[in-house]
Amino acid sequence: MNVVQFETYAFPSRRSNVIAFNGLVATSQPLAAQVGLDVLKAGGNAVDAAVATVAALCVVEPTSTGIGGDAFALIWMADEGKLYGLNASGPAPAGLAAEHVRQLGHETFPPLGGLAVTVPGSLRGWEMALARLGTMGLDTLLARPIQYARDGFPLSQRIARAWSFSVEKMSRHADSKRVWLPNGRTPRPGQRFQNPEFARTLAQIATHGPDVFYRGHIARQIAECAQADGGFLTEDDLANYQAEWVQPISAPYRDGFVFHEIPPNGQGLTALLALNITRGFDLPALGYGTADCYHAQMEAIKLAFADAHAFIADPQQANVPIAGLLSDDYSRQRRAQIGMATALSPQPGRPSTHGDTVYLTAADGEGNMVSWIQSLYMGFGSGLTAGTTGVQLQNRGANFSLEPGHPNEAAPGKRPYHTIIPGFITKEGRAWSSFGVMGGFMQPQGHLQVGVNLVDFGMDPQTALDAPRFNWIRDKEFALESAIPDPVRADLARRGHRLLPKERRIHYGGGQVIARDPETGALIGGSEPRNDGAAVGW
């Protein structure tokens, strides 16, 4: 890859790429990106920078992430030529059963309050990543996040706006209202926001390590908070939790490119299913930005989600037929259902049984690259804040099914279907790009579209992110960004796609990309123009 050889497309790219040799960090908040870059400048590697960046995001973008949530990562270590997978998602409490939730009158899992609180996994993920692959400790990496929490940081316009959407949610819980709605309202853009309680929690973690979070007075406050609001989380659930190393799943695409994702319980499988279907179409021949090109991808993502919702679950408690779903034969079967003239209604197939989030990517000058994603799920998660810890608790339980017998049916100690997914691309066995697109069920759609832009159309990272996107909603219903021309919209509508009006405010995800030029070693970074994204390098 040579940045000067990337193709140029008709739509205007809003920014140029950031190019650096010694290190690069890209994420959704500029202050956090600079925290990671400072770690690289101080001699840390990409893993150190990723942990410092995500810790800062827990402070400066609290609407989306926190240590009360979960994390996943794909980590390329250059000296080994190996891609590591990290699953730091927490399970349901040992006392939670779907039947109890159904007896309370719920037909779908409630998204707010104590029932939806699962074990927070992210901090154990930080610990495992640093212990095995990092070079610095949390005592060093948490210094700047602690400072931002203690002394305050200025809210951006976008984060302040997202904060305002959660007023009702945070008002129902006394500790949440006290911490997140100072003086009874949301902070304004440019206002200094301080969270001294969270600063103290981070300081204890920096001094004593993550055990202080999962045992003792912090764990007690977390458990008491969830239980007081109808949840089942206990101190034992927290004390017994460990993150795990997992083998990434992958799908060859074309011309030596391979896409990699975290296996279930995450939905990275969805992106690979869609890419497997899409690779059977000659997208460049269809033409970038044409109705045919969009239609092929839109049909592929619908079929992928139909299978994802039917099969993705915690593989420790359910049979997830990954090999069958990713087989060439199954991909051909699914692809054969697509007609170029008519939109289909997606249904799950029958494979063989054998065999509001933040995303960041960091790379260092030694060739190491990290794709890291962490979330509370919905804005401010469950709406609960644990006592005087300043920690908001996630609502990942909301993704459990209450359908009896479903692979993803809620059960004790089971991890729910997870929306957050990091992405990675290798070419001919070498690290090529670390990328991701945050945003609930938009994420595998973003992986498909940004990945296609990079590989099929040769776009540079920033242009691949700037390009207009679609967002599948349900059945044949899609939202299209306004930059997609009206004639293309009309053509897609004629094929049976039900398109939301342009004026509807729909989220199209927030992505970051770092690509590495194998010839020069240059790191080429792009960041999401739809939020406060920043790529910084040196």
Three-state SS for 527?
Answer: strand
CB 442 within 8 A of CB 450: no
Distance CA 331, CA 278 (A): 9
Whole-angstrom distance, CA of residue 219 vs CA of residue 197 = 15
Length of the chain: 538
Cα(334)–Cα(260) distance, integer angstroms: 20
- Integer distance in angstroms from the first to the last C-alpha of the chain? 20
Amino acid identity for residue 11 in this structure: F
Cα separation, 491 vs 489, whole angstroms: 5
Cα→Cα distances 390→142, 180, 346, 356, 379, Å: 16, 9, 43, 19, 16
Is there a contact between 386 and 225 (Cβ–Cβ < 8 Å)?
A: yes
Which stretches within 65-116 are classed as H helix? 98-103
Judging by DSSP bridges, how do beta strands 498-499 and 477-480 pair with one another?
parallel
What whole-number distance in Å separates Cα of residue 182 and Cα of residue 164? 12
Among 357, 385, 426, 463, the active-site one is: 357
Secondary structure (H, E, C), 192-217: EECCHHHHHHHHHHHHHCCHHHHCCH
Instruction: Assess whether 357 carries a catalytic annotation.
Output: yes
DSSP notation for 279-296: TTS-HHHH-TTSHHHHHH
Task: State phi, psi for 436 to the nearest 5 degrees.
Answer: -170, 160
* Cα torsion through 488, 489, 492, 497, rounded to 10: 160
**Which helix (H) or strand (E) element contains residue 435?**
strand 430-438
Active-site positions?
Answer: 357
